[in-house]
Structures are given as C-alpha cells and as structure tokens.
C-alpha cells in the first residue's frame, strides 16, 4: 500500500498544470495572415505572359500530338499566333525514356534542338509534381497537357494558362483575350 501512495503522489506532481487562458484586450487590432500573391498578376491577368511563349510540355501531350499527327512547334504557333519555345523538364524526359521502345518517336521529338531543356533540382522523378512546382514558382509558363488530374491541379494556380488538344488542333484555356489565342 505504501508503494502505491508514493507513485500516486509522483504522478500528481508530474502532471501538467492546466494553462490559464490569457484575456485579450478587445481594443487591439486583429492580425490575419493573407496569402501573398505575385506582383505579376493583375487580378487573374498574368502580365509576365507575352509573345515568345515558354510552354512546359507534359509526356502525354507529346504522345497525343503524335496520335493526332500534329507538329508540336508549328501547331503551338498556329494556336497562339506567336513564336513559342517548348520546354521539357528532366522529369518529363526521364518519364518518356522509361516508357521504352513503343514511345521512341516521342523521345526523338523531345530531344529536338528547338526544345529547351530545364534542369530539375528536386528529388524524385514524378513529372506532374515537377510541372506544378515549377509553374507555382515561375508564372511565365503555359502548361501543355491532356492529363485531367494535372489540369485540375494547375487550374488552382492563378494566372497559368493550359494548352490542350481537341478536334485535332491545339487550344488554350485561361488565356487573356489580348493575345491572339482563338476561342473555340
């Protein structure tokens, strides 16, 4: 019995005392954290986008372009009425290489000298995360994809247009009307 009393007293000692709530002065101003928006956005209008477009290309966009028999660079220029530089990240290139011999035409197109290679510094090779991370950091890109999940994730990022394929041609979504992108 004596041993139980000692442990009970120790437990009571070790217990934390309930914290007392501090009374707040109602006259002080309340501070709130507001998300910081980039200076390049004017409402939903991205001022960093302009002719000489940099377009981040996804793996499935290249594959569907081949199926639709579309030349990537020429079709991008036809869609936007301006010069376009397709950009491929290391993750997308790795993803195409992993697809094997069946997609060797896509690999040959991705290695075209007109395409700009963007090095990746992050860990892992999941291309969708890489594209979303790059577009979140730098809002100067248009993302070319036909992947529904990636489109859904990019739509949450303000000021980033999405290029996709429909009716055997490229279309653009969320592009300001000032630029020559047609609406269909």
Instruction: Establish how many alpha carbons lie within 13 A of residue 73's alpha carbon, considering only the half-sphere containing its beta carbon.
Output: 14
pLDDT of residue 140: 87
Who's near 90: CB < 8 A, 6+ residues apart? 117, 118, 119, 120, 125
This prediction has a pTM of 0.72
3-13: b or e for each residue (b if 16 or more CB lie within 10 Å)? eeeeeeeeeee
pLDDT classification of 66: cutoffs 50, 70, 90? very high
Q: Where does residue 37 fall: left (phi above 0), alpha (psi -120 to 50 degrees), or beta otherwise? A: beta
Report how far apart the first and last C-alpha atoms of the chain are (Å, whole number).
86
Q: Could you tell me which residues come within 8 angstroms of residue 171 by beta carbon, excluding any fewer than 6 positions away?
A: 79, 163, 164, 165, 182, 184
Q: Which domains does the chain have, with CATH numbers?
A: 57-173 (3.40.50.1010)
Are the CB atoms for 153 and 132 separated by under 8 Å?
Answer: yes
Per DSSP (E only), the strands in the chain are 41-42, 45-46, 53-57, 84-89, 116-118, 141-144, 162-166, 169-173
8 Å CB contact between 168 and 70: yes
Q: In this model, does residue 83 exceed pLDDT 70?
A: yes
The residue among 125 and 158 whose pLDDT is bigger is 158
Q: How confident is the model at residue 50 (pLDDT cuts 50, 70, 90)?
A: confident
pLDDT band for 44, please (50, 70, 90 cuts).
Answer: low
Burial grade of 32 (CB within 10 A; 0-12, 13-18, 19 or more) = exposed
Please, what is the angle between helix 72-80 and helix 59-67, to 10°? 90
Q: Strand, coil or helix: what is 112?
A: coil
């Amino acid at each position: 019995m004596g041993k139980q009393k000692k442990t009970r007293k120790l437990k009571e000692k070790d217990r934390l005392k309930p914290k007392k709530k501090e009374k707040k002065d109602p006259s002080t101003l309340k501070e709130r954290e507001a998300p910081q928006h980039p200076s390049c956005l004017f409402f939903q209008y991205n001022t960093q986008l302009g002719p000489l477009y940099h377009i981040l290309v996804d793996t499935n966009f290249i594959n569907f372009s081949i199926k639709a028999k579309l030349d990537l660079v020429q079709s991008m220029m036809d869609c936007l009425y301006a010069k376009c530089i397709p950009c491929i990240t290391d993750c997308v290139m790795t993803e195409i290489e992993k697809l094997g011999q069946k997609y060797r035409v896509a690999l040959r197109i991705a290695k075209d000298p007109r395409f700009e290679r963007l090095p990746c510094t992050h860990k892992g090779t999941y291309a969708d995360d890489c594209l979303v991370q790059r577009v979140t950091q730098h809002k100067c890109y248009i993302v070319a994809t036909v992947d529904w999940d990636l489109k859904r994730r990019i739509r949450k990022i303000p000021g980033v247009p999405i290029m996709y394929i429909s009716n055997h041609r490229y279309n653009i979504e969320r592009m300001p009307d000032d630029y020559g992108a047609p609406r269909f």
